[in-house]
Structure 1
Amino acid sequence: MLGSGTRWLAGVLIVACTVLVGPSAPGGAPFAGAPPVEAVVDVVPNRVMTWNICNPCEGDDVDRAAEIAAHAPQVVGLQEACVRDVERIRDHLEHRYGLVYRAEYGTVLRSWGRCGGAPWSPGAFGQAVLSAAPMTDPVIVEYPDGGSEDRGYMAVTTTVGGRSVRVFNTHLAQRRQEAVRADQVGVLAAEVARHDRAIVLGDFNAVPNAPELTGIQALAADADPRCGPSPTGGCEPTTDWHSKFDYVFLRGVVPLEHGVHPTPHSDHHPLHADLDTTGRPAGEAGPGSR
């Protein structure tokens, strides 16, 4: 049996180790050094967010989770997302901030260079949607022509602002591939047109007055009314190179407020929009409509 002096010394050592190491994140990763954010009570039920988290970049999943938690959207669409990163982000959101999200993935590429893993079992790369509400009817579509890299869109049905809505998340072809993006918009718009109430999130790699965006702009309005095909001024850039490439397009949904949030953790900035989904969109026939 240990003497009282020995037990006292052991207790001191345990406390000292706890102070030095700090509490652990999911999977054993320490939380020490994570940027503080204001205490989060719950998600904002009518808020959506889109964010290209940049890959390959030196972004840390703890920092990415902090960015999302600072705005606590009901739904967030991520682009350039590795499945493992999204899993860690989701764990940090739950265990650090008490924000519980479900995840669906829109994998279009398996890339060891981007996502790590074993060369014979590389990580999955593409889009992801995190939602505080359950998601149903997930769809993943790879564009027939991705351009210089495979690209696609995903879609889920979930709840935003108390109403069921179809949410799309996409990442179009890289810059200087206008014709490819125009074809991709055609594929995406054909599906969006099937729904009376839809939210389209994503990195479109094109400025608001780019001709290739007209196909989606004819169906859905930008959450920022200053950023239409004929910008009225004040359209906020969403990238480090001072261009707007990131969008929240709305079909049958009314925008209330929006914000762009510059961040050091990606070359794209998170964009959020608060929405009114309670009104009946024009042309909706009633409970049996899409």
Structure 2
Amino acid sequence: MVRGTRWFVGAMAVLCVILVGSGSHGGPDAGPGRSVEPVRDVVANRVMTWNLCNPCKESNVHRAAEIASFAPQVLGVQEACVRDVEAIRDHLENLHGLVYHVEYGMVLEKRSRCGGTPWNPGAFGQAILSAAPMSDHVGKEYPEGGSEDRGYMAVTTEVGGQDVRVFNTHLAQRRQESVRAGQVAVLATEVARHERAVVLGDFNALPDAPELSRIWALAVDTDPRCRPTRTAAGTCRATTDWQSKFDYVFLRGIAPGEPRVHPSRYSDHHQLYADLDLG
């Protein structure tokens, strides 16, 4: 009896050690401070922008799968809810072996956009996911948002082995040209402070729109053929389902790379990404 009891107690102790150990290595209940090594590598010089479409009620599993197929080093998303971005990041890690850091640039709390309760609606705005840590995070709401609050965010992170200032923005909706002009003026003032910068986002304007002139004075589109003239703008690749170029990867102090546009089943905006030459 005594020997059997001792054996049972010992076996249970070993089992507890095994269970505790298995739950402490990045499992679903591991704390937010856990350090997880990526299973897959990202493309170190690839940057990407994507308006997620909201409210579209698409599956975050599908969104993560599309992002994983391109594995960008840095991704800027717009029309994003915090809950969706958190889920996308978890799916990228757990289903695809891609580990990202995330920073947010939320500009409003809105239940119709992001769910939640009337007294605790979800946060809505922009986010940046980066395979490298980010620093010097800034999130600003534009003084005038137009029909809906809008803003920009910026971080310093690594692209192609180099430290780069990365901006992500979403400008006012169509037919609000004067509002966008004011927003671009605010954004351009901040971009001009940096010799090397990547500006991602949904600008809701065609390349030759007058309100984008302040950005064009500082940066170039990642497609060297796409310029703010009426003739050149016609060669720019469309980034939306209505065949307009509204999404941009603007580069300041960085040579343009070949852009790629991928139409998505899960948004009315295409995924736009580019592999940059920072040498």
In the alignment, residue 113 of structure 1 is paired with which amino acid? S
Aligned to 1:172: 171
Aligned to 1:108: 107
Q: TM-score, normalised on structure 1?
A: 0.81
Q: TM-score, normalised on structure 2?
A: 0.85
Instruction: Please say if 1:128 is aligned against 2:140.
Output: no
Instruction: Please say if 1:258 is aligned against 2:267.
Output: no
After superposing on structure 2, the runs of 4+ consecutive aligned residues of structure 1 that deviate more than 4 Å are none
| Aligned-residue offset at 1:45 | 0.3
| Aligned-residue offset at 1:42 | 1.1
Q: Secondary structure at the match of 1:256?
A: coil
In the alignment, residue 263 of structure 1 is paired with which amino acid? S
| Aligned-residue offset at 1:204 | 0.1
Q: Is the 8 A contact 1:26 1:92 kept in 2?
A: no
Cα distance between partner residues in 2 of 1:78 and 1:62: 16
Cα distance between partner residues in 1 of 2:238 and 2:82: 27
Cα distance between partner residues in 2 of 1:26 and 1:207: 43
Give unpaired runs (5+ residues) of structure 1.
Answer: 1-24, 28-39, 279-290
Q: Secondary structure at the match of 2:57?
A: coil
1:114-147 CA distances to partner (integer Å, 9 max, x unpaired)? 1011110110100000000000000011000000
Aligned to 2:201: 202
Give unpaired runs (5+ residues) of structure 2.
Answer: 1-26, 30-38
Aligned to 2:73: 74
Instruction: Please say if 1:248 is aligned against 2:249.
Output: yes
Cα distance between partner residues in 1 of 2:64 and 2:225: 29
Q: Secondary structure at the match of 2:61?
A: helix
Q: Is the 8 A contact 2:220 2:256 kept in 1?
A: no
Cα distance between partner residues in 2 of 1:59 and 1:264: 9
Q: Secondary structure at the match of 2:260?
A: strand
Cα distance between partner residues in 2 of 1:159 and 1:228: 27
In the alignment, residue 234 of structure 1 is paired with which amino acid? T
Aligned to 2:23: none
Percent identity reads 71
| Aligned-residue offset at 1:26 | 5.9
Aligned to 2:184: 185
Aligned to 1:83: 82
Select between 144-153 and 219-228 the one with higher mean Cα deviation. 219-228
Aligned to 1:276: 277
1:11-52 CA distances to partner (integer Å, 9 max, x unpaired)? xxxxxxxxxxxxxx969xxxxxxxxxxxx8310000000000
Cα distance between partner residues in 2 of 1:234 and 1:247: 14
Cα RMSD (Å) = 1.4
Q: Is the 8 A contact 1:26 1:91 kept in 2?
A: no
Q: Secondary structure at the match of 2:90?
A: helix
Instruction: Please say if 1:146 is aligned against 2:155.
Output: no
Cα distance between partner residues in 1 of 2:200 and 2:46: 12
Q: Secondary structure at the match of 1:255?
A: coil
1:174-205 CA distances to partner (integer Å, 9 max, x unpaired)? 00000000000000000000000000000000
